[in-house]
Structure 1
Amino acid sequence: MKLALGTVQFGLAYGAFNRNGQVTESETANILERAKAAGINLLDTAHAYGNSESVLGSLDAASRFRVVTKLPALNDDLANRATELFSESLRRLRVQRVYGLLLHRAADLLGPNADDIWKKLQDQRERGFVQRIGFSAYGPTEALEVLRRYPVELIQLPLNVFDTRHIDSGLLEICKSRGIEVHARSIFLQGFAIGNPAELVGHLAKYRDVLERFQARCRDLKLTPMQAALRFALDLPQVDQVVIGVESCKQLEEILTATRAEPLPTSAFKDLNSDDLALVDPSLWAAKA
């Protein structure tokens, strides 16, 4: 199963299009049970996702799924605590080891503490606490520079019909040639891709025409926006896992159903690609609201 389950909503009321707040622990248990039954075998979490790791730990999720977690942004004060922070994540998850450990910020491998941070990641892998180490990317420039410096084994990056920067830069091909595992996130662009153009507010309202054109293309292809967004990422051969987040079992069921759509070529939405960071980088949305 190429789908992986993101868990930020289990620890925070996350997402610009989130209407239900943080997922309850009982609903989280239901989601995990349905995900496992569907063949999903990987969970994506992070030290910075509120109490997500603790919720997963209380539900013994790591006994049923592979887990990837992330260290928080390691400023000068936290760089020396990288090992301690990872140990905290293991305690919260109630496990002795995880599948993947990522830096939440690629810039940590470009700053003055980069070599020391990388050595700490390597040490955790060599001691058997993690299988693959790497980082979470936000843009291709930083990601490519990190790949020039370190033998990364796992990378997570944003990828959707509007944001193909990591494809266009050649980064995905580089990862494939080096055997670097790629996890794609933000395939719905926090819900923008499957939203109602008429309900867009704040600075996103100026992108109504972008969303309308995408949805019109979906109708031409006889696909729902959810089907199109999913197939776009799932059909990329360089992508190993597609991370999706849900707020309920109902949403997960809708996504599982949508994955059954027929494959489509990447070029189907090529004219909708955008380099406008105000649209494709959700971390900027709050500042522009």
Structure 2
Amino acid sequence: MPKISTNKFILGTVQMGLNYGINNSSGKVSLEDSFEILECAFDNGISILDSAEAYGDAHQVIGAFHKNHPEKTFEIITKLPHHFDAQIKEKVSIYLAELQVPQLYALLFHSYDSYKKNISNFDVLLELKAQNKIKHIGVSVYTNAEIEAVILNDDIEIIQIPFNLLDNNSLRGEILKKAKAKGKTIHTRSAFLQGLFFKDLNSENHTLKQLHKELMELGDIKIKSNCAMSQLALNYCAQQDYIDNVLIGVDSKSQLKENITALNHTISPEIMADLDAIKVKNVDLLNPSLWT
């Protein structure tokens, strides 16, 4: 299998605007470090950023980078908040100004509930698309049932969904292949399950304890594959034919470089099959928003 290009990565920016992640001990990334990460990403072929109004001042950080580096302008995916007052045109104008871009690569509803509640405003999105203010319309979802419902809307072009070593092909493969067959672009997030894969298995973390058996299985497969957990996690997502782009988040330039280097590794069909065989029974454990 040929090496996967870094342009399959989308760089998430939540860490640049908020303290985020179960394994993040350093807090929100500084402006200086954010600029270093963004420059490294652009220089290594990553062309799309993922952001949201809900991500603190991430928009402003991106906009400041673009202002300082106009020759290194990213395409931007951003998301409407979970709850908003239907002033979509005004919001998009604000987003474009904050991000210092003439067009959004994609505007996503931040949740399926938000999508459903605001379906009456969909014509406004189509109008903005016709005006070239947004290129694509999408939805960020969690469950397979939500994907099933969203793919019925021909105007939804991008679906963003969790996918990783545990939230895997055995859970998602069938529905994601169906979405691809409907012409949808598939973006996956939570490749590292908010850093859970890197935590000490003896940790007192409640979620880790409940997933201990599956995480032990992952550890055994990692040893068998003779690769690092980051290589296993990223390539498992990137090697899926039905996944167009893999969203990653980093806390530092060095971490980004590690993730880019991870793509030099290829997971064998045997290891892929071993990973596919892991089945988490309580899927709520795979949703960080439900963690206690």
**What TM-score, normalized to structure 1?**
0.91
Give, in whole Å, the separation in 2 of the partners of 1:142 and 1:129.
27
Q: Structure 2 counterpart of 1:283, which letter?
A: S
1:69 aligns with 2:73: no
Question: How many residue pairs end up in the alignment?
Answer: 281
- The corresponding residue for 1:102 is 108
Per-residue deviation, residues 2-29 of structure 1 (Å, max 9, x unmatched): 1111000000001111111000010011
Q: Which residue of 2 aligns with 1:40?
A: 46
Aligned runs of 1:1-289 on 2, under 5 Å? 1-60=7-66, 63-74=72-83, 78-111=84-117, 113-114=118-119, 116-164=120-168, 168=172, 170-265=174-269, 266-285=272-291, 288=292
Cα deviation code 1:118-160 (max 9, x no counterpart): 2122111111101111111111112211222443111111001
Please give the secondary structure, in 1, of the residue aligned with 2:267: coil
Contact 2:23 2:198 in 1 (8 A): no
Shift of 1:107: 1.9
Shift in CA distance, 72/166, structure 1 to aligned 2, threshold 3 Å = farther
Question: Which has the bigger relative contact order, CA under 8 A and spacing at least 6?
Answer: 2
Normalization by structure 2: what TM-score? 0.90
Q: Is residue 186–residue 245 contact of structure 2 (8 Å, CA) maintained in 1?
A: yes
How far apart in 2 are the matches of 1:57 and 1:18? 24
Q: Quick check: 2:158–2:185 contact (8 Å CA) kept in 1? A: yes
Residues 157, 256 of structure 1: alpha-carbon distance in 2 compared, 3 angstrom cutoff = same
In structure 2, give the amino acid aligned to 1:251: Q
**Equivalent-residue separation in structure 2 for 1:238 and 1:270 (angstroms):** 15
- Runs of at least 5 residues in structure 1 that lack an aligned partner in the other structure: none
Distance apart, 1:167 and its partner CA: 5.5
Deviation at 1:216, TM superposition (A): 1.0
Residue 219 of structure 1 aligns with an amino acid whose one-letter code is I
State the alpha-carbon separation in 2 of the partners of residues 136 and 16 from structure 1: 21
- C-alpha distance in structure 2 between counterparts of 1:50 and 1:105, whole Å: 17
Question: Which deviates further from its counterpart, 190-199 or 234-243?
Answer: 190-199
Task: State the 1:45 CA deviation.
Answer: 0.5
